[in-house]
């Protein structure tokens, strides 16, 4: 296909680790790197899903592929994963911190437990990944790349997504700070900011304390304005590979994410 031609063997010999790889954007990203000849570690808290992604990645063209069951918000589990990957597969060349959960609801409908849950996965998961695998990359001294999946919500205030948007704004800033810190070591850092992408996360969105009808109308307006709907995760994966090859800092992906980024 087109992508295989575009990126054929561009990642040959490289080790790529993707979190949240059992589904959606993470799975598509694991497949895209597999097509480009990488060795792929598919990580997810859903171990069976991660194993399935790894198996398919092997069929698609990955030089080698492994599935690992890990909860990215669990610091001890992430330490174990980082030690295992380094010992058994090698130093990661490209790290994609993509695992994330959705949470919608007005500020006052969002409980402290909700805040903790979404920050634990969406922010702390990225922090653990960057600290552990970033340190290995820097220690090796041969460069590398880190991609963090933020969101257009990071720069688009919304009364429907205060906790989620805050977690993603933090991921965006963390990525830019780390990019500055690692620039001298040949390690690039990219924040990828998709708008609405057709995955499980959007199908299971919860609208506590928000007028669900109003939220639907808002999404409809946005989809008419930007002609979105059914934006496939494969196109986000393409944007991620391109961002690594061209070393971009912030990459808004869908049409409405690009529009909102220009206005932010």
Distance CA 42, CA 50 (A): 5
Per-position x/- string for 234-263, each x denoting binding to ligand NAI as judged by CB under 6 A, each - no binding: ------------------------------
Per-position x/- string for 197-236, each x denoting binding to ligand NAI as judged by CB under 6 A, each - no binding: x-xxxx------------------------------x---
Per-position x/- string for 66-105, each x denoting binding to ligand NAI as judged by CB under 6 A, each - no binding: -----xxx------------------------xxxx----
Check residue 196 for interaction with ligand NAI (CB under 6 A). Answer: yes
* Min dist. Cβ of residue 32 to ligand NAI (A): 13
Piece of the chain touching ligand NAI by CB under 6 A; list 39-47, 87-95, 106-114, 218-226: 39-47
Catalytic, 164? Answer: yes
Check residue 194 for interaction with ligand NAI (CB under 6 A). Answer: yes
Bridge partner list, 15: 39
Q: Given the residues 155, 164, 226, 231, select the one marked as catalytic.
A: 164
Residue 71: name the closest of 35, 36, 19 by CA. 19
* Min dist. Cβ of residue 103 to ligand NAI (A): 10
Tokens representing residue 36 in the block: 């480009």
Piece of the chain touching ligand NAI by CB under 6 A; list 34-42, 103-111, 172-180, 193-201: 193-201
Per-position x/- string for 147-176, each x denoting binding to ligand NAI as judged by CB under 6 A, each - no binding: --x-x-------------------------
Check residue 22 for interaction with ligand NAI (CB under 6 A). Answer: yes
Which residues are marked as active site? Answer: 164
Summarize as ranges the residues that interact with ligand NAI (CB under 6 A).
Answer: 19-20, 22-26, 44-46, 49, 71-73, 98-101, 121, 125, 149, 151, 194, 196-197, 199-202, 233
């Amino acid at each position: 296909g087109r992508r295989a031609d575009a990126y054929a063997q561009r990642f040959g010999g490289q080790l790529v680790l993707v979190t949240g790889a059992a589904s959606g954007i993470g799975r598509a990203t694991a497949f895209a790197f597999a097509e480009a000849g990488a060795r792929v570690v598919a990580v997810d808290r859903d171990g069976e899903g991660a194993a399935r992604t790894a198996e398919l990645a092997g069929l698609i063209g990955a030089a080698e592929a492994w599935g690992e069951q890990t909860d990215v918000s669990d610091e001890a589990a992430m330490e174990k994963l980082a030690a295992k990957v380094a010992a058994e597969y090698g130093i990661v060349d490209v790290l994609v911190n993509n695992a994330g959960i959705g949470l919608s609801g007005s500020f006052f409908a969002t409980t402290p437990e909700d805040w903790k849950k979404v920050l634990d996965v969406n922010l702390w998961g990225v922090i653990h990944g960057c600290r552990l695998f970033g340190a290995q990359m820097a220690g090796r001294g041969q460069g590398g790349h880190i991609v963090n999946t933020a969101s257009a919500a990071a720069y688009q205030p919304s009364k429907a997504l205060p906790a989620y948007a805050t977690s993603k704004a933090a991921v965006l800033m963390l990525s830019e700070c780390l990019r500055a810190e690692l620039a001298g070591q040949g390690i690039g850092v990219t924040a990828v900011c998709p708008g609405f992408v057709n995955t499980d996360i959007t199908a299971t969105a919860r609208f506590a304390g928000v007028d669900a009808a109003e939220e639907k109308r808002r999404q409809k307006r946005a989809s008419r304005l930007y002609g979105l709907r059914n934006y496939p995760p494969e196109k986000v994966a393409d944007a991620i590979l391109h961002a690594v090859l061209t070393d971009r800092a912030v990459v808004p992906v869908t049409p409405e994410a690009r529009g909102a980024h220009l206005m932010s």
